[in-house]
Amino acid sequence: MLYNDSFQHDEAPSETKPSAIAHGKPSTGSHPAPLPPLQDQFGRTFDYVRIAITENCNLRCTYCMPEEGVDFKRGDQILKTDEILRIIHVLARMGVRKVRFTGGEPLVRKDIVKLVEGAAGTPGVKSVHLTTNGILFSRYAERLLAAGLTGVNISLDTLDAEKFQRITRRTGVEKVLDSIRLALDLGFPRVKVNVVLMQGFNDDEFPAFCELTRDMAVTVRFIEFMPFDAHQIWESGEHFASAERMVSRIKELYPGVETTSGTRTEHHIFQAPGYKGKIAVIPAFTRSLCGNCSRIRVTADGKVRNCLYSDDEYELMPLVRSGAPDEAIAGVFRKAFADKAKDGFEAKKRSAAKRISVSDIGRISMTQIGG
């Protein structure tokens, strides 16, 4: 089946019963008393939450999930609109200032504008971002901007229509390119393009992606391929392209290129002289960024994860659904981050040691973890 434009569904009823949130409704504007900030045993503080709002998606990228999808959670199994906003409210009290909605594909949820508006209106939250494959972006772009969306990361791994179809198992490269242009035209404060670079898939397009930054004020971010592909193409390792090699290629393409400033994960970031945009490299697999980690992850089914490479999960849903006070919800985050490993290597080692068999690996795709 090719990409079907009408694919869209409301993942979950948008409201829980009023009694379920009686102890802690999302704030209506006044600043609630701050709670102690979230910290781990290494003194790192966490001010950035990435919330997966669905596991489902309208594409089937080969480096993420199989054609038939994975075992998507649906309906009551995933967080509802007001539950997500309640979690953001508690986190904002704990010092979280940046919120990102991701998935799965966040734009397949019909309440996306409401979520952005609610997050942007939460006292303490300074910026709200979205990571999307861009297919449905034009449908929501103006409303998202009006709702307070500050940044949009659009994923695009090839500029070629035939290759797009091979990588995503759907059509739509022009739609994604139009979404990038639209985001810039509408004046979104931050527009980024996420490219998962893979040997033998799209590494030949590295120069073309870099050249997008000549006339477009975007940050093109090359991301290392990670083993969260539902056991599809990672196994042999032959498609892995290292951050180190990507940085060398940028320096070869643009001798004398300047380093510039970026976010914490944009570990290597450059701007070619006279170019409008920036080029970043994200060492997502080689993990040289762990010391700087400020991320909290919440999965679509309401679990806290303290590291992409850890299997440990901390359950939020029952507390949120039973109307527990903010302090109890905050306690789940505190427990999760008290347990956080020093880095992703340590986290992976610990998780592997806890597994009894290979089938214990719970989440096998980025769409279940929240990319």
Residues that bind ligand SAM (CB under 6 A): 57, 63-64, 102-103, 105, 131-133, 155, 194, 196, 223, 225-226, 228-229, 284, 366-367, 371
Cβ of 241: how many Cβ atoms within 10 Å?
A: 22
Provide the minimum distance between the beta carbon of 144 and ligand SF4 in the complex, in angstroms, as a whole number: 17
367 near ligand SF4, judged by CB under 6 A: yes
Provide the minimum distance between the beta carbon of 244 and ligand SAM in the complex, in angstroms, as a whole number: 16
Nearer CB in complex with ligand SF4: 57/130 = 57
Q: How far apart, in whole angstroms, are the C-alpha atoms of residue 120 and residue 330?
A: 20
Nearer CB in complex with ligand SAM: 340/363 = 363
65 near ligand SF4, judged by CB under 6 A: yes
Provide the minimum distance between the beta carbon of 320 and ligand SF4 in the complex, in angstroms, as a whole number: 24
Strands of 295-298's sheet, edge to edge? Answer: 258-259, 268-271, 278-282, 219-224, 190-197, 151-155, 127-132, 98-102, 48-52, 295-298, 303-305, 314-315
Provide the minimum distance between the beta carbon of 186 and ligand SF4 in the complex, in angstroms, as a whole number: 22
HSE of 199 in the Cβ direction (CA atoms, 13 Å)?
11
Nearer CB in complex with ligand SAM: 85/107 = 107
24 near ligand SF4, judged by CB under 6 A: no
Q: What is the DSSP letter of 205?
A: G
Q: How far apart, in whole angstroms, are the C-alpha atoms of residue 98 and residue 125?
A: 6
Nearer CB in complex with ligand SAM: 65/341 = 65
Cβ of 127: how many Cβ atoms within 10 Å?
A: 17
Q: How far apart, in whole angstroms, are the C-alpha atoms of residue 267 and residue 288?
A: 8
C-alpha separations of 66 from 102, 202, 244 in Å:
19, 19, 29
Nearer CB in complex with ligand SF4: 101/270 = 101
Provide the minimum distance between the beta carbon of 198 and ligand SF4 in the complex, in angstroms, as a whole number: 12
Which does residue 281 bind out of ligand SAM, ligand SF4, none, counting CB within 5 to 8 angstroms by kind?
Answer: none
Q: Which residues contact 252 (CB under 8 A, 6 or more apart)?
A: none
C-alpha separations of 58 from 68, 113, 244 in Å:
11, 18, 32
Which does residue 197 bind out of ligand SAM, ligand SF4, none, counting CB within 5 to 8 angstroms by kind?
Answer: none
320 near ligand SF4, judged by CB under 6 A: no
Closest-CA residue to 288 (of 248, 244, 250, 251): 244
At 130, which helix (H) or strand (E)?
Answer: strand 127-132
Using the Cα atoms of residue 104, residue 105, residue 110 and residue 111 in order, give the sign of their dihedral.
positive
CA 55: distance to chain centroid? 12
Nearer CB in complex with ligand SAM: 228/270 = 228
Which does residue 228 bind out of ligand SAM, ligand SF4, none, counting CB within 5 to 8 angstroms by kind?
Answer: ligand SAM
Provide the minimum distance between the beta carbon of 364 and ligand SAM in the complex, in angstroms, as a whole number: 10
- Token pair for 242: 């290292």
Of 38-46, 102-110, 307-315, 325-333, which segment contacts ligand SF4 by CB under 6 A?
102-110
Provide the minimum distance between the beta carbon of 123 and ligand SF4 in the complex, in angstroms, as a whole number: 31
Which does residue 60 bind out of ligand SF4, ligand SAM, none, counting CB within 5 to 8 angstroms by kind?
Answer: ligand SF4
Count residues binding ligand SF4 (CB under 6 A): 13
Of 1-9, 61-69, 218-226, 235-243, which segment contacts ligand SF4 by CB under 6 A?
61-69
Q: Cβ(39)–Cβ(47) under 8 Å? A: no
For residues 103-122, which are near ligand SF4 according to CB under 6 A? 103-105
* Residues shown for the chain: 371
Q: Which residues bind ligand SF4 (CB under 6 A)?
A: 57, 59-61, 64-65, 103-105, 133, 155, 366-367
